[in-house]
Amino acid sequence: MSEVNRREFMALSGLAAGGAALAGCGTQGGRGGQAGAGDARHADQVVTNATVYTVDDDNPRAEALAVKGGRFLAAGSNGDIANLVGPRTERIDAGGGTVVPGFIDAHNHPSSAGMRHLTQVDMNIRTIEGMKSALRERAQNTPPGEWVVGFLYDDTKIEEGRPLNRRDIDEAVPDQPVQVTHRGGHTSVYNSKAFELAGITVDTPDPSGGHFYREDGELTGKVASLARRPLQRLVPGGSTREDRQAGVALIGQLMSAAGITSVHETGGNSQGLTALQDAYDAGDLRFRMYYFPSGGSLLFSALKQAGVRTGFGDENLRIGAVKYSADGSASERTMAMRTPYVGRPDDYGISTMSQEDIDRAVDDAVRAGFQIAIHANGDRTIDMCLNAYERIQRELPQADPRFRLEHCSLVDDPLLRRIKDIGAIPTPFYTYIHFHGNKWGEYGVEKMEWMFAHRRFLDYDIPVAGASDYPPGPFEALMAIQSMVTRTDMQGREWGPSQKISVPEALRICTINGAHASYEENIKGSITEGKLADYVIL
């Protein structure tokens, strides 16, 4: 890292060793002042005495900004902005602090995550005994026979050095069904009671696109991807409309504290969309939303029938792409690859869609007027998605389709050339290198030089967008910047150093590139006159 970039890095992020969270940096900002607070000639709000990184190539740095009617009026020197101050203008002295555009998380699950925080057992616990205690306590406060459900479990962050299994859960909760979902979202661990209710035994065959894990002739309790369906069908929703709205309000508070002003929610349903609308009506929606209905969902069918297309809505709540999931998880080491996992020569990961499935999904989305977004982690799956995108462009050319490759974790040069040529938008995980370091050994050093390949995406002039996929990855944007710039994990190990990028490049990925992924680069993503006044004071 050059000395200039090193200074910029420290000024921008204020990072200490081991990571950072904006909540510790005194953030302020968001929707930029009250419309109409000033008069016709003056700003509603000004921020002065700052180092402003605008992410606007025509005006990259400033020391002050002005807002009027919820949009940026100007960015310039303190003297320039002083001319816009009137008697009713709100004045914020940044005291030399750094100001950046509001962060945009281009792949996240806030409405479902908020609900989980309110209703499920938080399994972000570092010991097996601690997890057993948490499940036991919840079971004691749950009516007999009802499910106990946990989330945010991580198999690589356990002090005992082994994953949670069926017998552990049986010891804690023997008589009620239990589901503990990995924070990656593609595998869960169940107890014996859950398997009994679902009629699953050690002899139950693996379905296509899923796997029951076995050891010494017994089920371990871990179940991957589509094999979970018979179990998940038994888990009740257990939430009210009011609960779901409260979940959106809660996650909004957490994300606002991290400086996130816009989110792309992927894989949503009608209940999630209603919760967002209810939160917006109540003044509890703290981020702008680009909402992806799940492919095959009742919501997607209803939107198509009504003639609704991508882009319907406004800058606060807009219908986005339709989302499908075609393979497993990077953090759970189940994504579909061309070569096997380290130490598992017969394990190439899990595909959840065939080429024919992907072709049909893309055809349906494009003909209905929807942007298409497919969860594609491994190189094998990315290749299949590009096959479908290239085919539909030959058969039904679109002027600006912005096909999305959600996660797009493992690439190579031929794939990168195809991504560039078709104009696809990858959204690789931006906090994963730092947060999930204990998992990367199962991919190996060679693969890690091509995973979460921010450097190569930029070198190919591909408008890569930043994404946390929360809950699977932390959503703190400063952790994301650290992760992309240093490529080091929480133990200080370096993974794929050839993929390092600069702080200004990382900031663009977290802001304007996210706006581009939702066709909104002309209204947000930079501190530019006329754009929505979403900003963060660090």
Q: Hunting for tokens 């004691």 — which residue is that?
A: 140
Among residues 337, 342, 308, 306, which one has the least CA distance to residue 322?
Answer: 308
**CATH number of the domain located at residue range(s) 242-523 in this protein:** 3.20.20.140
Cis peptide before 497 (omega within 30 of 0): no
Per-residue tens of pLDDT for the chain, all 538 residues: 333 343 444 444 443 222 222 222 333 444 455 445 557 789 999 999 999 999 999 999 999 999 999 999 999 999 999 999 999 999 999 999 999 999 999 999 999 999 999 999 999 999 999 999 999 999 999 999 999 999 999 999 999 999 999 999 999 999 999 999 999 999 999 999 999 999 999 999 999 999 999 999 999 999 999 999 999 999 998 789 999 999 999 999 999 999 999 999 999 999 999 999 999 999 999 999 999 999 999 999 999 999 999 999 999 999 999 999 999 999 999 999 999 999 999 999 999 999 999 999 999 999 999 999 999 999 999 999 999 999 999 999 999 999 999 999 999 999 999 999 999 999 999 999 999 999 999 999 999 999 999 999 999 999 999 999 999 999 999 999 999 999 999 999 999 999 999 999 999 999 999 999 999 999 999 999 999 999 999 9
β-bridge mates for residue 45, sequence order = 67, 90
Structure tokens at 258: 């991290």
Query: Pairing between strand 260-268 and 103-108?
Result: parallel
Return the CATH number of the domain spanning residue range 20-101+524-538.
2.30.40.10
What distances in angstroms separate CA 236 from CA 119, 169, 515, one per listed residue?
12, 19, 36
Q: Would you say the C-alpha torsion 170, 176, 177, 182 has a positive or negative sign?
A: negative
β partners of residue 221: none
Cβ atoms of 239 and 265 closer than 8 Å = no
Beta bridge partners of 260: 103
HEC assignment per residue over 441-463: HHCCHHHHCCECCHHHHHHCCCC
At residue 41, the pLDDT reads 86
- CA–CA distance, 220 with 199 (Å, rounded to integer): 16
Distance CA 99, CA 458 (A): 24
- In the chain, what's the furthest Cα-to-Cα distance? 77
Q: Where are the alpha helices (DSSP H) in 241-378?
A: 241-257, 270-281, 298-305, 355-367
Integer Cα distance of 532 and 73 in angstroms: 10
Query: What pLDDT, on the 0 to 100 scale, is given for residue 239?
Result: 86
Overall fold of domain 114-232: Diaminopimelate Epimerase; Chain A, domain 1 (3.10.310)
Q: How many helices (H) and strands (E) does the chain have?
A: 19, 23
Strand order in the sheet with 71-76: 71-76, 64-68, 45-48, 90-93
CA–CA distance, 437 with 282 (Å, rounded to integer): 40
- pTM, two decimals, is 0.93
Paired tokens of 538: 């660090």
* Three-class secondary structure of residue 312 per DSSP: coil
Where do the domains of the chain lie? 20-101+524-538, 114-232, 242-523
Q: Which two tokens stand for residue 534?
A: 């979403």
Sign of CA dihedral 509, 514, 520, 525: negative
In the three-class reduction of DSSP (H, G, I as helix; E, B as strand; rest coil), residue 383 is classed as helix
Q: Name the helix (H) or strand (E) containing 514.
A: helix 512-517
Amino acid identity, position 136? R
* Confidence at residue 2, expressed as pLDDT on a 0 to 100 scale: 33
Dist CA 96 CA 48 (whole Å): 8
85, 177, 450, 522, 537 from 45: Cα distances, Å: 8, 54, 45, 22, 14
**Which residues make Cβ contacts (< 8 Å) with residue 101, sequence separation at least 6?**
53, 54, 55, 511, 512, 524, 525, 526, 527, 534, 535, 536
d(CA 296, CA 201): 29
**In sequence order, what are the beta bridge partners of 488?**
494
Does residue 285 come out as left (phi exceeding 0), alpha (psi in the -120 to 50 range) or beta? beta
Give the list of residues 6+ apart from residue 244 with CB closer than 8 angstroms, or none. Answer: 111, 114, 115, 271, 272, 274, 275, 278
CA distance 57 to 427: 23
| Alpha carbons 194 and 291: distance in angstroms, whole number | 33
In this structure, what is the dihedral angle of CA atoms 474, 475, 479, 485, given to the nearest 10 degrees?
110
- pLDDT value, residue 36: 52
